[in-house]
C-alpha cells in the first residue's frame, strides 16, 4: 500500500496540518463553531471579521443561493473587538489541543482605527490576524476604499503592523480592482506577512417576479462556484508580484479545486461557501479528495503542486 501524500504546509511561521483554512465570516462567529470546524479537519480556522464596536448587520434577506453561487450581505455582524477578544480566547483554548491555528479577522473605518482594533485583538494572541480591507457589503466608511487603492491599503497595513505586537498579518484583497498584483505588492512592502485573496465580488440578484433585488441591502458579495476562476486568476497574478504565502480563497468546493488554487500559487486554501454546498463537514471531504488527487497523480507531497501552473 502506498503512503498517504504529505499535505502539511508552512504558512509563514505557522505550521498547518493541511492547507484548508476556514474562510472568515463562515461559521466563525463563536468558539463552538470554530471548534466544530477544527474537529472536521481544518488546517486553520478564521473567525468572523470584527470591528471597533458591535454591529447587528443588515436586515433580512441577507443571503441567497442563485444558480451558480451564493450572494450575501450579512453586513459584518460582530460583537465589537472587546467581546471578540473573549470569544477568541475561548476559541484558542478549544483549538490548542487540536493543534489548529486560530486566525482573527479585523476591519475598521480608517487606518488609525484599524491600528486600534489591531492592538486590542492582539490581546487574544491569535496565530495570525487577517486584515479585511475588502468587504463589499459596507459602504464608504468601511472596506472598499482601502482594498481599491494601493496607497490606502499600504497605510492600513502599516497601521496594523505597528500595533499588532509581532503577530503575523494577512491583508485580504478584493477582486474588483484592475491591478490586484500591484496592490498585493504594495501591502507586502508595507509589512503584510501573508496575502489572503480574495473576498467576495460585488453582485446583485433581482427577482423579476418581485421586481426587487433579493437582498435587503440590494447588492451583496458573490461567493462559491462562480467566483473560482476569478479567484484563481487573482492568486496567479499576486503570485507573480510577491513572494509571501497566499491563502487562495474563492469557490473551492472539492479537492481538485484546492489543487487548482495551489497550482496557481496559493500556499493555503480558504474554504467558505463549500460549507453550504457540501455541509459543515465540507473541509473533511475536500481534504480526502485532495489526498486522493495527489496519490492518483503520483505526488508525494502537496508542495509539489505549489505554483505548478504558473
Partner 1 sequence: MGGKFEARKVTAISKINPVTSWIRFDGDIYAQPGQFVMVWLPKIGEKPFSIAELNPLGLLVVDVGPFSHALQALQVGDSLWVKGPLGQGFSITGERLLLVGGGYGSAPLLALAKKARAQNITVDVCLGARSEAGLLLSDAFLELGCQVSYATEDGSLGWHGLVTDIVEQKIQAIAYDLLCACGPTGLLSALSNICKTHRLDNQLSWEAHMRCGMGLCGSCLVSQNIDELLPVGWLACYDGPVFYQKFRD
Ligand X SMILES: Cc1cc2nc3c(=O)[nH]c(=O)nc-3n(C[C@H](O)[C@H](O)[C@H](O)COP(=O)(O)O)c2cc1C
Return the active site residues: 135
264 binds, among ligand X, partner 1, its own copies, none (CB under 5 to 8 A by kind): its own copies
User: 114 to each of 40, 155, 158, how far by Cα in Å?
Assistant: 32, 10, 10
72 binds partner 1 (CB under 8 A): yes
What are the φ/ψ torsions at residue 93 (nearest 5 degrees)?
-60, -35
Among 94, 158, 216, 256, binds its own copies (CB under 8 A): 256
How many residues of this chain interact with partner 1, rule: CB under 8 A? 41
Q: How far apart are CA 190 and CA 167, in angstroms?
A: 15
217 binds ligand X (CB under 6 A): no
105 binds ligand X (CB under 6 A): yes
Among 19, 21, 24, 147, binds ligand X (CB under 6 A): 24
| Residue 276 burial (C-beta neighbours within 10 Å; 0-12, 13-18, 19+) | middle
Among 33, 42, 76, 155, binds ligand X (CB under 6 A): 76
Among 138, 183, 271, 294, binds ligand X (CB under 6 A): 271
Residue closer to partner 1, measured from CB, 12 or 61: 61
Q: Which residues make beta-bridge pairs with 223?
A: 70
Name the region of 19 (left: φ>0; alpha: ψ -120 to 50; beta: rest). alpha
Residue in 261, 276, 274 with CA at minimum distance from that of residue 198: 261
23 binds ligand X (CB under 6 A): yes
Residue in 294, 157, 309, 191 with CA at minimum distance from that of residue 248: 309
Cell of 115: 491600528
103 binds ligand X (CB under 6 A): no
User: 197 to each of 170, 173, 175, 211, how far by Cα in Å?
Assistant: 10, 5, 8, 34
Q: Which residues bind its own copies (CB under 8 A)?
A: 66-69, 71, 144-145, 147-149, 174-179, 201-206, 208-209, 211-213, 218-219, 222, 225-227, 229-230, 232-233, 236-237, 256, 259-260, 263-264, 293, 297, 305, 308-309
Q: Which residues bind partner 1 (CB under 8 A)?
A: 25-30, 32-37, 39, 48, 57, 59-67, 70, 72, 74, 77, 207, 209-212, 214, 216, 272-273, 275-276, 279-280
Amino acid at each position: 500500500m502506498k503512503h498517504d501524500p504529505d499535505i502539511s504546509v508552512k504558512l509563514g511561521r505557522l505550521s498547518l496540518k493541511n492547507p484548508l483554512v476556514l474562510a472568515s465570516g463562515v461559521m466563525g462567529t463563536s468558539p463552538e463553531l470554530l471548534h466544530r470546524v477544527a474537529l472536521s479537519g481544518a488546517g486553520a480556522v478564521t473567525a468572523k471579521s470584527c470591528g471597533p464596536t458591535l454591529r447587528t448587520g443588515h436586515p433580512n434577506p441577507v443571503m441567497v443561493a442563485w444558480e451558480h453561487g451564493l450572494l450575501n450581505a450579512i453586513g459584518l455582524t460582530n460583537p465589537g473587538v472587546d467581546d471578540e477578544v473573549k470569544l477568541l480566547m475561548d476559541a484558542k483554548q478549544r483549538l490548542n489541543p487540536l493543534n489548529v491555528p486560530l486566525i482573527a479577522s479585523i476591519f475598521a473605518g480608517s487606518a488609525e482605527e484599524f491600528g486600534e482594533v489591531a492592538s486590542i485583538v492582539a490581546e487574544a494572541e491569535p496565530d495570525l490576524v487577517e486584515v479585511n480591507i475588502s468587504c463589499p457589503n459596507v459602504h464608504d466608511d468601511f472596506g472598499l476604499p482601502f482594498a481599491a487603492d494601493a496607497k490606502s491599503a499600504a497605510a492600513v497595513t502599516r497601521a496594523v503592523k505597528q500595533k499588532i505586537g509581532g503577530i503575523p498579518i494577512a491583508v485580504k484583497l478584493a477582486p474588483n480592482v484592475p491591478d490586484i498584483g500591484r496592490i498585493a505588492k504594495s501591502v507586502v512592502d508595507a509589512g503584510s506577512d501573508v496575502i489572503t485573496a480574495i473576498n467576495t465580488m460585488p453582485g446583485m440578484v433581482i427577482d423579476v417576479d418581485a421586481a426587487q433585488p433579493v437582498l435587503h441591502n440590494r447588492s451583496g458579495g458573490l461567493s462559491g462556484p462562480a467566483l473560482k476562476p476569478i479567484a484563481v486568476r487573482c492568486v496567479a497574478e499576486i503570485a507573480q508580484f510577491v513572494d509571501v504565502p497566499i491563502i487562495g480563497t474563492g469557490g473551492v468546493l472539492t479537492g481538485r479545486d484546492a489543487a487548482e488554487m495551489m497550482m496557481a500559487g496559493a500556499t493555503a486554501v480558504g474554504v467558505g461557501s463549500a460549507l453550504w454546498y457540501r455541509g459543515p463537514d465540507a473541509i473533511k471531504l475536500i481534504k480526502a479528495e485532495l489526498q486522493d488527487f495527489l496519490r492518483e497523480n503520483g505526488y508525494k507531497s502537496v508542495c509539489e503542486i505549489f505554483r505548478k501552473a504558473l
